[in-house]
Amino acid sequence: MLFQPRSIRHCKACGAAVRYVVPADDNRERAVCSACGLVHYENPLNVVGTVPVWGDQVLLCRRNIEPRYGLWTLPAGFLELGETTADGAIRETVEEAGAHIELEGLYTLLNVVRVGQVHLFYRARLLDTVFAPGPESIEVQLFDEASVPWQTLAFRTVRETLLHYFADRRRGRFEVHAADIS
């Protein structure tokens, strides 16, 4: 099923009500202003994050916010305007985990069409073990593969990324993984 949030109610230019219709020369429904005619385009959002590594351990954050309050995640969040995906991944890691990292390259690219998102995770090297939960995290902790809280991970994309990480680690070779999450 196509992702059709139909979340827009009012025109962002004039505030009048919008209607979802297929504009001329288009092929899908858009929110079109009933007064000024502005067409509002909605596109997938990018979520960017990291796999922060210290020795054989990865750093996870326990979410202090909805959705998935109390579950564990890799540090990640929505890319902001004006930043690159790498900048955003570093910023989220600082904000959520208070961690000092150096990026080591793109690792996973995961399409989550159902919710209109693309998730990008970078591998990252922790520069030290000084970290602390930011406002969006309850706690931040290092886990080796056996101790990862696999049953209480917040998102499929985090699970996929961690599974790839530990598998690649065993093989001794890391490559970029692209996949679609249903």
CB atoms within 10 A of CB 110: 21
Q: Transcribe 154-166 into DSSP letters.
A: S-HHHHHHHHHHH
From 11, 97, 101, 124, residue interacting with Zn ion (rule: CB under 5 A): 11
Output 26 or 83, the one with its CB closest to Zn ion: 26
Single out the segment in contact with Zn ion by CB under 5 A; choices: 30-38, 45-53, 99-107, 153-161.
Answer: 30-38
Q: What is the 3-state secondary structure (H, E, C) of 16-80?
A: CEEEEECCCCCCCCEEEECCCCCEECCCCEEEEEEEEEECCEEEEEEECCCCCCCCEECCEEECC
Q: Is 17 among the residues that bind Zn ion (CB under 5 A)?
A: no
Binding mask 37-66 for Zn ion (x = CB under 5 A): -x----------------------------
Site membership for Zn ion, residue 32 (CB under 5 A): no
Residue 138 found at the interface with Zn ion (CB under 5 A): no
With beta carbons less than 8 A apart as the criterion, state whether 126 and 52 touch.
Answer: yes
Q: Is 167 in the site for Zn ion (CB under 5 A)?
A: no
Residues in contact with Zn ion by CB under 5 A are 11, 13-14, 16, 33, 35-36, 38
